[in-house]
Amino acid sequence: MTATPGIAVDGVSVRYGDIVALDDVRLTVAPGRVTALIGMNGSGKSTLFKTITGMVRPAAGTVAVDGRPPAAARRRGVVGYVPQSEDVDWSFPVSVRDVVMMGRYGHLGITRRPRPADHRAVDEALARVELDDLADRQIGRLSGGQRKRAFVARGIAQDARVLLLDEPFAGVDKRSEATIVRLLRELAADGRTILVSTHDLHALPSLADEAVLLLRRVVFHGSVAEALRPDLLARAFGLDPGHPRSTTAPEGEA
Amino acid sequence: MNLLDILLEPLQYEFMLRALSATAIAAIVCALLSCWLVLIGWSLMGDAVSHAVLPGVVIAYVIGAPFALGALVFGVVAVALIGIIRGTSRVKEDAAIGIVFTTLFALGLVLISVTPSQTDLNHILFGNVLGVSASDLVQIAVLAAVAFAVLLIKRRDLTLFAFDPIHTFAIGLSPRLLSGLLLGVLALTAVVALQVVGVVLVVAMLIIPGATAHLLTDRFGRMLVIAPSLSAVSSLVGIYLSYWVDASSGGLVVLVQGIVFAAVYLFSPRHGVIGRRIASRKPVAESVAGD
């Protein structure tokens, strides 16, 4: 395969003080596919995301996003990020359109005054996620699924080649979940790299082309069907029979 | 006496004209800044920086440097110290803020007490807007203009940062730079408001207008208009009241702002405690997920 990987993580280790968050993670995420990142709380999913955006510097190893170091990728607007619900202030006085426009800020001048092309890009992104009717609503006045779509639209308006989604199905009903899955599939078909962290194993077969099981290191990376094998899941969720002391159960399903 | 007399009589005194101008200027620029502070959750930071600039102002006075410079230096020192204490010990952020600003404020008090000057401690603590001189007014106007311009030019970036610092970072902008910019403006603004309501009450002008406006609108652009307008009007009402009832001007400026907040808190149509109930008697079909 000659295509540049969307995300290439090579031998990355991250420590917070004495705690090892990531240990020699090696992972290549291909463009044109939806890749699910599965792991329990504390498995290092968020840290991996932060390492990909460059927010956290690894103690060892390198990260490339769309073939570039994270800082260069950020400047080029390659990285789109859809935050977890609890990381967003839903009472913030911005409309859906305002949020989507924030995807354009990296392209804009010093005062970030939008040009006609930016308004067009925002309109197109809103239409694509089917939120054009709700564009002027305050962001908190959307349902859980609509909120996620608004942030995906921000990534589309940004024309992000790599889209990171942190637990996008938490607090989202089944129908919205299906809409989001379809949307992510379409975006992958555009040639984007889509990495989705999730607890939701039920949605996995329809959502993702491949799956990564993470427990501080990559436990497994391959097909979804294989990732759902009980022995692999048990290892990813720290229930490995070989390690009798680790009994932490998966938690936090929405 | 009719309303016109009530409004016009104080204007024949030059000190009242200066007081009203200084108050309006400070109210507008503080209120503008407050929109971001309340949304980020930096009210305590506003309190801290506005107190911590005191030693900077005193030292600037002693060596004859501009007050703003001294304030800026100590604003930066305060923020840096808070960050260091939080980052390198088990002390939590609110405690770190409390320790740093009270200590710097105390340093300011000590410096004032050993500095031979005409400046009355009470004026610094509680403001002396009726004693604002022409040159004070010029300084207030210049600082406010700088703060106002920075906020207006960078308003979209600051709003982006306030709403989603991770996205700000992910698209190649610097959340650290933007937060530094906001704190710098905060230090400048603190100097402006210091003369009007004094160090102790500056924080009111930096928080109440933004919080009030947030209860009135779901649009940030409108917040940036509502907060300064409400703040300017209530502050001017406060000054007039202080003239007519002969009471503390700084105190009344803040008191009126607080009363306006209370009214909005109760009766705002969408986000007021009572207003919401009245509004909810009418069927609202579109409210999917309130806050």
pLDDT of residue A248: 46
Domain spans in chain A, listed from the N-terminal domain onward: 1-78+166-171+199-254
Residue B119: pLDDT band with limits 50, 70, 90: low
* Residues in A touching B173 (Cβ below 8 Å): 105-106
Cβ of A92 within 8 Å of Cβ of B163? The answer is yes
Cβ distance of B171 and A103 shorter than 8 Å? yes
- For the cut 70, the answer to whether the pLDDT of residue A175 exceeds it is yes
One-character DSSP codes across A98-140? HHHHGGGGGGS-TT-PPPHHHHHHHHHHHHHTT-GGGTTSBGG
pLDDT given at position B287 = 46
Residues on chain A touching B289 (C-beta within 8 angstroms): 90, 140-144
Least confident of A224-233, B143-152, B187-196, B219-228: B187-196
Residue range A49-71: mean pLDDT, rounded: 94
CATH of B3-280, one of 3.40.50.720, 1.10.3470.10, 1.10.10.410, 2.60.40.10: 1.10.3470.10
Evaluated on CA atoms A171, A173, A179, A182, the torsion sign reads positive
The whole-chain average pLDDT of chain B stands at 89
Q: Give the pLDDT band (50/70/90) at residue B67.
A: confident
| pLDDT for the residue B34 | 96
User: Is the CB of B223 less than 8 angstroms away from the CB of A93?
Assistant: yes
Residues in B 161-220 with any Cβ partner in A closer than 8 A: 162-164, 166-167, 169-173, 214, 217-220
Q: How far is B261 from chain A (nearest CA, A)?
A: 18
pLDDT band of A245, cuts 50, 70, 90: very low
Nearest-CB residue to A142 (from B159, B167, B289): B289
The pLDDT score that the predictor gives to residue B5 is: 86
pLDDT at A22 over 90: yes
Q: Which of A139, A141, A146, A163 to mutate to test the interface with B (most CBs of B within 10 A)?
A: A141
- Number of inter-chain CB pairs under 8 A, A vs B: 94
In Å, how far are A100, A143, A240 from A124, measured between CA atoms? 10, 21, 47
Q: Determine the pLDDT at residue A213.
A: 94
Inter-chain residue contact B170 with A53, CB threshold 8 Å = yes
CB contact under 8 A, A143 and B39: no
> Which pLDDT belongs to residue A246?
43
3-state secondary structure of A74: helix
**Where do the H-state alpha helices sit in chain A?**
45-53, 70-75, 96-101, 116-128, 144-158, 174-189, 204-207, 224-227, 230-236
Check pLDDT > 70 for residue A253. Answer: no
Answer with the residue of higher pLDDT: A243 or B272.
Answer: B272
A43 by DSSP, 3-state: which?
A: coil
- Residue A127: burial class (beta carbons within 10 Å; 0-12, 13-18, 19+): middle
Supply the pLDDT for residue B166.
93
Quick check: ipTM above 0.85? yes
Two tokens, residue B245: 């009832």
Q: Quick one: which of A164, A145, A253 has its CA closest to A212?
A: A164
Q: What is the pLDDT of residues B1-44, one digit of tens each?
A: 688 888 888 889 999 999 999 999 999 999 999 999 999 999 98
Handedness of CA A157, A158, A163, A167 (dihedral sign): negative
Whether chain B has a CB inside 8 Å of the CB on A146: the answer is yes
Identify the band that residue A242 occupies on the pLDDT scale cut at 50, 70 and 90.
low
Lowest mean pLDDT among A134-143, B27-36, B196-205: B196-205
Query: Does B159 contact A at CB distance below 8 Å?
Result: yes
Looking at residues A190-197, what average pLDDT do you find? Answer: 95
- Average pLDDT of the residues in A83-91: 92
The closest CB to that of A74, out of B171, B286, B288, belongs to B171
| Residue B287 sits at the chain A interface (C-beta within 8 Å) | yes
- Asked if A72 and A82 touch (Cβ cutoff 8 Å), the reply is no
pLDDT attached to residue A241: 57
Task: State the pLDDT at residue A62.
Answer: 95
Inter-chain CB proximity B218 and A80 less than 8 Å: no
Chain A residues in contact with B151 (beta carbon < 8 A): none
Contacts of B155 in chain A (CB under 8 A): 111
pLDDT bracket for residue B245 (50, 70, 90): very high
d(CA A149, CA A156): 10
Q: Is the pLDDT of residue B288 over 70?
A: no
Residue B132, SS3? Answer: coil
Confidence label for A202 from pLDDT (cuts 50, 70 and 90): confident
Helix %, strand %, coil % of chain A (to 5): 35, 25, 35
A205, A226 Cβ separation under 8 angstroms: no
A80 touches chain B (CB under 8 A): yes
Both tokens of residue B102? 């009270």
Chain A: residue whose CA lies nearest to B170:
A74
Nearest Cβ partner for A111 among B156, B167, B288: B156
Q: Which of B166, B220, B276 to mutate to test the interface with A (most CBs of A within 10 A)?
A: B166
Average pLDDT, rounded, for chain A: 89
Domain ranges of chain B: 3-280
> pLDDT-derived band of residue B289, with 50, 70 and 90 as boundaries?
very low
What residues of B are in contact with residue A90 (Cβ under 8 Å)? 289, 291
Burial A200-230 (b: 16+ CB within 10 A, else e): bbebbeebbebbbbbbbbbbbbeebeebeee
Highest mean pLDDT among A93-97, B79-83, B194-198: A93-97
pLDDT at B282 (0 to 100): 59
For residue B254, the model assigns a pLDDT of 93
| B160 in A contact zone (CB under 8 Å) | yes
Q: In sequence order, which residues have a C-beta less than 8 Å from that of residue A23 and are 6 or more positions away?
A: A13, A216, A217
Judged by a CB distance cut-off of 8 A, whether residue A90 touches chain B is yes
Residue of A nearest to B291 (CA): A91
The reported pLDDT for the residue numbered A190 is: 92
pLDDT 10s digits, B84-95 = 998 888 898 899
Q: What pLDDT sits at residue A17?
A: 84
User: What SS3 state is found at A217?
Assistant: strand
- Give chain A positions within 8 Å (CB) of B154: 111
Q: How far is A31 from chain B (nearest CA, A)?
A: 19
Chain A's closest residue to B167, CA to CA, is: A81
| % of chain B beyond a pLDDT of 70 | 95
Least CB–CB distance from B287: residue in A55, A75, A141:
A141
CATH of domain A1-78+166-171+199-254: 3.40.50.300
> Is pLDDT above 80 for A184?
yes
Q: Which residue of B has its CA nearest to A151?
A: B167
